[in-house]
Structure 1
Amino acid sequence: MASAGPRDGGGATKPDAAPSPSPAPAPAPAPVPQPPEKPLPGDCCGSGCVRCVWDIYFDELDAYDKALAAHAAASSGSGVKDDSADTKPSDGAKS
Protein backbone atom coordinates (compact mmCIF):
# COMPACT_ATOMS: atom_id res chain seq x y z
CA MET A 1 0.00 0.00 0.00
CA ALA A 2 1.09 3.51 -0.69
CA SER A 3 1.43 6.05 2.08
CA ALA A 4 -0.77 9.12 2.18
CA GLY A 5 0.91 11.79 0.12
CA PRO A 6 0.23 15.32 -0.97
CA ARG A 7 -1.69 14.19 -4.05
CA ASP A 8 -4.26 11.98 -2.45
CA GLY A 9 -5.51 14.45 0.17
CA GLY A 10 -4.38 12.32 3.08
CA GLY A 11 -3.88 15.40 5.23
CA ALA A 12 -0.14 14.96 5.45
CA THR A 13 0.56 18.41 4.02
CA LYS A 14 -0.13 21.82 5.42
CA PRO A 15 -2.55 23.96 3.50
CA ASP A 16 -1.03 27.14 2.14
CA ALA A 17 -0.80 29.23 5.26
CA ALA A 18 -1.41 32.94 5.07
CA PRO A 19 1.78 34.91 5.56
CA SER A 20 2.37 35.82 9.15
CA PRO A 21 0.96 39.22 9.91
CA SER A 22 3.63 41.87 9.80
CA PRO A 23 3.60 44.62 12.39
CA ALA A 24 1.05 47.26 11.59
CA PRO A 25 2.63 50.23 9.88
CA ALA A 26 2.95 53.30 12.04
CA PRO A 27 0.12 55.73 11.49
CA ALA A 28 0.95 58.70 9.33
CA PRO A 29 1.92 61.72 11.40
CA ALA A 30 -0.76 64.29 11.89
CA PRO A 31 -0.37 67.30 9.63
CA VAL A 32 1.17 70.40 11.14
CA PRO A 33 -1.54 72.90 12.08
CA GLN A 34 -1.73 75.92 9.81
CA PRO A 35 -1.74 79.41 11.33
CA PRO A 36 -4.87 81.51 10.99
CA GLU A 37 -5.02 84.09 8.26
CA LYS A 38 -4.19 87.54 9.57
CA PRO A 39 -6.84 90.14 8.74
CA LEU A 40 -5.90 92.74 6.18
CA PRO A 41 -5.77 96.37 7.31
CA GLY A 42 -9.05 97.11 5.52
CA ASP A 43 -10.87 94.15 7.13
CA CYS A 44 -11.48 96.05 10.38
CA CYS A 45 -13.96 98.90 10.13
CA GLY A 46 -12.65 100.53 13.32
CA SER A 47 -16.11 101.07 14.83
CA GLY A 48 -15.62 98.84 17.87
CA CYS A 49 -17.66 95.83 16.78
CA VAL A 50 -18.49 93.32 19.50
CA ARG A 51 -16.77 90.54 17.54
CA CYS A 52 -14.07 92.42 15.64
CA VAL A 53 -12.08 90.54 13.00
CA TRP A 54 -9.05 91.07 15.23
CA ASP A 55 -10.82 89.40 18.19
CA ILE A 56 -11.58 86.41 16.00
CA TYR A 57 -8.01 86.33 14.69
CA PHE A 58 -6.48 86.37 18.18
CA ASP A 59 -8.89 83.64 19.35
CA GLU A 60 -7.86 81.53 16.36
CA LEU A 61 -4.19 82.33 17.04
CA ASP A 62 -4.53 81.06 20.64
CA ALA A 63 -6.16 77.86 19.36
CA TYR A 64 -3.38 77.51 16.76
CA ASP A 65 -0.67 77.90 19.43
CA LYS A 66 -2.30 75.17 21.53
CA ALA A 67 -2.70 72.87 18.53
CA LEU A 68 0.91 73.46 17.52
CA ALA A 69 2.14 72.66 21.03
CA ALA A 70 0.03 69.49 21.10
CA HIS A 71 1.37 68.47 17.68
CA ALA A 72 4.95 69.07 18.79
CA ALA A 73 4.41 67.04 21.96
CA ALA A 74 2.78 64.19 20.06
CA SER A 75 5.44 64.02 17.37
CA SER A 76 8.43 64.15 19.72
CA GLY A 77 7.05 61.97 22.50
CA SER A 78 7.01 62.64 26.19
CA GLY A 79 10.52 64.09 26.33
CA VAL A 80 9.25 67.58 25.62
CA LYS A 81 9.65 70.11 28.39
CA ASP A 82 6.95 72.73 28.64
CA ASP A 83 8.74 76.04 29.23
CA SER A 84 5.49 77.93 29.67
CA ALA A 85 5.14 76.67 33.26
CA ASP A 86 8.59 78.00 34.15
CA THR A 87 8.04 81.52 32.95
CA LYS A 88 6.35 84.12 35.05
CA PRO A 89 4.36 86.90 33.44
CA SER A 90 6.19 90.16 33.57
CA ASP A 91 4.25 93.15 34.79
CA GLY A 92 7.12 95.47 34.02
CA ALA A 93 8.16 95.87 37.66
CA LYS A 94 11.72 95.00 38.56
CA SER A 95 12.33 92.81 41.57
Structure 2
Amino acid sequence: MINIRPISDLRNKFSEIEETVVNSNAPVFLTKNGYGTMVIMSVEQYSALTDGIEHKLDEADEVAKKSDVRYSASKVFGKVRSRINEHEKV
Protein backbone atom coordinates (compact mmCIF):
# COMPACT_ATOMS: atom_id res chain seq x y z
CA MET A 1 0.00 0.00 0.00
CA ILE A 2 1.36 3.43 -0.92
CA ASN A 3 2.07 5.55 2.14
CA ILE A 4 1.50 9.26 1.43
CA ARG A 5 2.03 11.78 4.22
CA PRO A 6 2.18 15.58 4.51
CA ILE A 7 5.71 16.93 4.79
CA SER A 8 4.85 18.36 8.23
CA ASP A 9 4.81 14.75 9.48
CA LEU A 10 8.54 14.63 8.82
CA ARG A 11 9.02 17.19 11.57
CA ASN A 12 6.16 16.19 13.84
CA LYS A 13 6.20 12.40 13.50
CA PHE A 14 9.72 11.58 12.36
CA SER A 15 10.09 8.42 14.48
CA GLU A 16 6.79 7.08 13.12
CA ILE A 17 7.88 7.68 9.52
CA GLU A 18 11.28 6.14 10.21
CA GLU A 19 9.64 3.05 11.70
CA THR A 20 7.35 2.73 8.68
CA VAL A 21 10.22 3.03 6.20
CA VAL A 22 12.51 0.62 8.01
CA ASN A 23 9.98 -2.01 9.12
CA SER A 24 7.78 -2.13 6.04
CA ASN A 25 10.68 -1.80 3.60
CA ALA A 26 8.44 0.54 1.62
CA PRO A 27 9.02 4.21 0.79
CA VAL A 28 6.98 7.06 2.24
CA PHE A 29 5.86 9.75 -0.19
CA LEU A 30 5.71 13.28 1.23
CA THR A 31 3.48 16.06 -0.05
CA LYS A 32 3.48 19.82 0.36
CA ASN A 33 0.29 21.75 -0.38
CA GLY A 34 -1.17 18.62 -1.96
CA TYR A 35 1.72 18.01 -4.37
CA GLY A 36 4.43 15.37 -4.12
CA THR A 37 7.77 16.78 -3.00
CA MET A 38 9.99 13.86 -1.97
CA VAL A 39 10.26 10.18 -1.21
CA ILE A 40 11.89 8.74 1.89
CA MET A 41 13.32 5.24 1.75
CA SER A 42 15.67 3.09 3.76
CA VAL A 43 19.31 2.67 2.86
CA GLU A 44 18.53 -0.93 1.92
CA GLN A 45 15.81 0.19 -0.50
CA TYR A 46 18.10 2.79 -2.03
CA SER A 47 20.88 0.24 -2.42
CA ALA A 48 18.52 -2.19 -4.11
CA LEU A 49 17.68 0.52 -6.65
CA THR A 50 21.22 1.69 -7.30
CA ASP A 51 23.59 -1.26 -6.79
CA GLY A 52 22.98 -2.72 -10.25
CA ILE A 53 23.55 0.65 -11.86
CA GLU A 54 26.73 1.22 -9.85
CA HIS A 55 28.00 -2.22 -10.91
CA LYS A 56 27.34 -1.47 -14.60
CA LEU A 57 29.06 1.92 -14.30
CA ASP A 58 32.09 0.24 -12.72
CA GLU A 59 32.16 -2.25 -15.61
CA ALA A 60 31.96 0.61 -18.11
CA ASP A 61 34.86 2.38 -16.39
CA GLU A 62 36.97 -0.78 -16.68
CA VAL A 63 36.15 -1.15 -20.39
CA ALA A 64 36.93 2.53 -20.97
CA LYS A 65 40.36 2.12 -19.35
CA LYS A 66 41.21 -0.62 -21.86
CA SER A 67 40.00 1.23 -24.96
CA ASP A 68 40.74 4.49 -26.74
CA VAL A 69 37.28 4.56 -28.34
CA ARG A 70 35.16 7.50 -27.18
CA TYR A 71 31.68 8.58 -28.28
CA SER A 72 30.14 12.04 -28.29
CA ALA A 73 27.14 12.74 -26.09
CA SER A 74 24.93 13.20 -29.16
CA LYS A 75 25.92 9.76 -30.50
CA VAL A 76 25.33 8.06 -27.14
CA PHE A 77 21.96 9.71 -26.55
CA GLY A 78 20.98 9.05 -30.17
CA LYS A 79 21.61 5.33 -29.62
CA VAL A 80 19.62 5.41 -26.39
CA ARG A 81 16.69 7.16 -28.10
CA SER A 82 16.76 4.59 -30.91
CA ARG A 83 16.61 1.70 -28.46
CA ILE A 84 13.77 3.32 -26.54
CA ASN A 85 11.85 3.93 -29.76
CA GLU A 86 12.40 0.33 -30.88
CA HIS A 87 11.11 -0.90 -27.53
CA GLU A 88 7.99 1.29 -27.76
CA LYS A 89 7.11 -0.21 -31.17
CA VAL A 90 7.01 -3.73 -29.74
TM-score normalised by structure 2 residue count: 0.36
Structure holding more helix per residue: 2
Indicate the structure with greater strand content: 2
